[in-house]
Structure 1
């Protein structure tokens, strides 16, 4: 029997098995001597982790190592923490001797920025802040921030303006700011996959906000990842079969600044607008960070532009849900 679909959700989860060990379906409450479970929070979301192993003590150590790795990466990337390296960079505009992971994720971001013609850009944070401030002000105009405010924010946006090296990261102006919310969950997923593989895990589905499969499922069939309706996350619209691949979904319905939903968290860093071209975009790729970044950017691009990007990328595919419920795969 093929493993049952995992839905896209705010819950972060890992269900992992050592080579030769069968996986329980994610969310099962069945108890086995080989299962070690942890629950808590990670990357601003509820999290759970289940490790199955022939040696329970080793499973416990693997759980502890995985949680420790997630916590370490949170201290670098999280905007939810006042003491993270990213928060410090945004606060003081520069960072000396930055963590190598921060340099690496910015380089990956730069690659995604170039691939998408600037549609993916972590320097979009000033625009996000402008929308948040506007719609949290009593009596704010339903039309959103003024054109003047948007234009001013755009002067602080542009990944190409950041100086980034192993020795120093510097933002272009004192009011510039970065958000890694469009790539960090994928990056953390990739790092957890590296840790699990190094520990002998050969069958796993890792979800740190984005999903990535290690090998096939326990029965040697592909993992099945369910893509949910962005307006009803309990309803699965499409099931993708993956093996050693990552899956990421982004949608303008994920977070909306206004009650009517005209202004979403997916902001175009080139114009400052929040267009709703698609209901959702799901990307399948070898790396979760790449899938994460592309799924965000593709929400700001038309189908033809998406196809043009993917033509030069082997092993990457996109599944685009239109507002009238139709799918286009590229």
Structure 2
């Protein structure tokens, strides 16, 4: 069963290879992602995030889901010494760097709960896989038609932060300036919640982010810095 929708500002594709998989099995996945977009998008004036940012909601009155997301944001802010920050001066609250991976991982959990065992869920290039082996390509940061490496995973997640799609959009919260020490950084982790947030946080740290991400439990890293040097951790699951 294969299904693709545009949700949360990017294409989301789901491939389920279990025998007997039905198109309607994907309905809860995409319904959940649409719900997340409506509730947590900082670009929607009626979202819970926007209402909190405007002071219309007290911090103690937010939903349990938003409280969890904000807790994760604070954890990464502290872990990076402020390089990762969803509350930058002069900008509204924007937890998207955590929301995406958290929401897509929750969608993968819904699939597991419904009995899916072999699937690939790809959300704008960040991927959760189950029941592999699955091969996941890592795009070259300067050539869209090339790959830097190919990973092979049975179960887990892959996320990449880079400058090639949206330019210098990741800011170092310590300076408020774009993070330019890396061209791209990919994290492999057991969950996309960790992989996606860790990739963004490490990118915000700049060149020091490679070692920071590599030191996180369960994380493997592939990175290209601004000098075009390549770094990879020893346990990176590279395809043969």
Given candidates 35, 42, 45, the residue that maps to 1:79 is 42
- Say if 2:11 is the partner of 1:43: no
CA distance in 1, matches of 2:51, 2:139: 36
Counterpart of 1:244 in structure 2 is 155
How is 1:1-330 mapped onto 2 (pairs within 5 angstroms)?
Answer: 35=1, 37-52=2-17, 54-55=19-20, 59-92=22-55, 94-95=57-58, 97-124=61-88, 126-127=89-90, 129=91, 177-209=92-124, 210-216=126-132, 222-256=133-167, 264-304=168-208, 306-308=210-212, 310-311=214-215, 313-330=216-233
Number of paired residues?
231
Cα shift at 1:305: 5.3
Instruction: Report SS of the residue matched to 2:97.
Output: coil
Contact 1:203–1:215 (CA<8 Å) still a contact in 2?
yes
CA distance in 2, matches of 1:197, 1:77: 24
Higher relative contact order (CA 8 A, sep 6+): 1
Q: Quick one: structure 1 residues 38 and 242, their matched pair in 2 at CA, closer, same or farther if it must change by over 3 Å?
A: closer
- The RMSD of aligned alpha carbons is 2.3
Cα shift at 1:198: 0.3
TM-score (norm 2): 0.85
CA distance in 2, matches of 1:120, 1:309: 13
CA distance in 2, matches of 1:190, 1:73: 12
Structure 2 spans left out of the alignment, 5+ residues: 234-240
CA distance in 1, matches of 2:192, 2:111: 15
Contact 1:42–1:71 (CA<8 Å) still a contact in 2?
yes
Contact 2:14–2:119 (CA<8 Å) still a contact in 1?
no
TM-score (norm 1): 0.64
Instruction: Report SS of the residue matched to 1:297.
Output: helix
